[in-house]
Amino acid sequence: GGEPEKNKFIFIGDYIDRGTLSVETILTLYAIKINSPKTFVMLRGNHECRQLASYFNFKQEVLHKYDESIFTLFMESFDALPLACLLNGRFLIIHGGVSPELKSVEDINKINRFQEPPKEVIFWYSPKYQYNNEAGICDPTYMPNTVRGCSYYYGKEAVNQFLEENQILSIIRGHEAQLDGYKMHRWGGPGVFPSVITIFSAPNYCDVYKNKGAVIKFYDNTMDIRQFVCNPHPYLLPNFMNLFTWSIPFLCEKVTEMIYHVLNAKPKGSSAPSAIEEVSKANPVATKKTEILRNKVKSICRM
């Protein structure tokens, strides 16, 4: 992509909840934003809110690395992120897409973004293309999103009406993982510029999807999509555990196993009782204590 001082960058949201290095990711982006405020644009995604940050792992990560006050500061910074931007007067870049309340680009400026956003806000909406619906048919114009359990789907009717009334060529959005890193919603037919372009830049999403990542590059009025694959990342233990905490159960198991075998040690090939058993038989009290100890060790070994 080049240097931010010489090239403009636009990010469409969802910077957190993408693994165990979300803190490092967002701090790196903020550092670049501070150094290049006019050429580095960060839009807000649906994960940049208190509800999802707490439901997924971002809050847990911040509390593990810092404390509650730092998490609060992150949330306040997310409240200041813009919701959309207009590129070259022809492309509306937004995390989710159009909504019934959104009639014009100016309507976005009327939204109070300095708060916890409701689920019905624009970056939760998704294009209706599932189930082989490549034609963008959505009846009614906005359908409830039963997969996410909130917000709505939109189709070509809602999009085309918005594009025509606002003299915009296309909507560029994120919000959903794509196998190839992007998807062209060609609801105007073959040979017509896509009404909606979904771009997804997290390759091998959650280390499970095995998808490619992609970015859109504009230069000399030409749009180019660049795909990329994931790189190996540092191995981290689950739930931010350290090595000592993670290994304690295994150490306990091995130690109790060793004690168990010591208590039952006998000369190889001999039926003679062990030294502990010989002493125990000579002392009834010792016999009872030995049996209690043996039972405790067996119980621990079974845990």
* DSSP structural state of residue 271: -
DSSP-derived pairing of the beta strands 126-127 and 152-154: parallel
Q: How far is CA 40 from CA 9, 79, 187, 192, 220, in A?
A: 5, 17, 31, 30, 19
Q: Is 261 in the active site?
A: no
Sign of the four-CA dihedral 55, 57, 62, 67: positive
Catalytic, out of 47, 95, 175, 185: 47
- Buried b or exposed e, range 50-76, using 16+ CB within 10 angstroms: bebbeeebbbebbeeeeeeeebeebbe
User: Cα(43)–Cα(40) distance, rounded to whole angstroms?
Assistant: 10
Contacts of 268 (CB under 8 A, 6+ apart): none
Length of the chain: 303
User: Cα(153)–Cα(140) distance, rounded to whole angstroms?
Assistant: 10
Query: Which H helix or E strand runs over 292?
Result: helix 284-302
The residues assigned a catalytic role are: 47
